[in-house]
Amino acid sequence: MSALTEGMKAPAFTMPASGGREVSSAALQGKPYLIYFYPKADTPGCTKQACGVQEALPQLGHLGLEVIGVSPDAMPPIEKFAAKYKLAFPLASDADHAVAEAYGVWVEKSMYGKTYMGMERSSFLVGADGAIVKIWRKVKPDAHAAQVLEAARALA
């Protein structure tokens, strides 16, 4: 698990994404972006978070910020989730959790006394230079879009 900190270079990635797209850090070079990690498509918290980001998308786009959501789900449930909520930004599949591991968000979790590995709800705001500007760990889905918007405005 990597211990990324603000100011460090964001790990490189290439992943398949909703709408038949592919997302990569190389394609985002020279642009600021938000990469956010969520545990599972179409669950209450993840839906709340994705819809909040979707609602803020016009303002984020106006600030020149690209957004990518990442989960360990395979593409079919991701496509279904994106279509169901009309999410315009790409949702990427990190099925082997290599990207999550590079960002340090594939972590041990526990529920009902059982431990398992899973995605920590976290976000990384990356500047146009490829360096991490802001990190949010254990994100609260309700407040997330507003936090991102505030940080993105400070970048602009």
pLDDT of 1:
42
Amino acid at 142: D
Supply 114's token pair: 């059982």
How confident is the model over 117-145, as a mean pLDDT? 91
The Cα 26–Cα 109 span in angstroms is 31
Q: What local confidence, expressed as pLDDT, does residue 2 receive?
A: 52
51 catalytically annotated: no
Q: Please give the pLDDT value at position 12.
A: 96
Which residue, chain included where needed, has tokens 């079919």?
Answer: 76
What is residue 36's predicted lDDT score, i.e. its pLDDT? 95
Domains present along the chain, CATH in parentheses: 14-155 (3.40.30.10)
- Maximum Cα interatomic distance, the chain, rounded to a whole number of Å: 45
Q: What integer is the mean pLDDT of 81-87? A: 96
Spatial contact of 130 and 10, defined as CB atoms under 8 Å apart: yes
Residue 89 identity: F
Tell me the pTM. Answer: 0.92
pLDDT reported for residue 110: 87
The active-site residue out of 46, 60, 92, 148 is 46
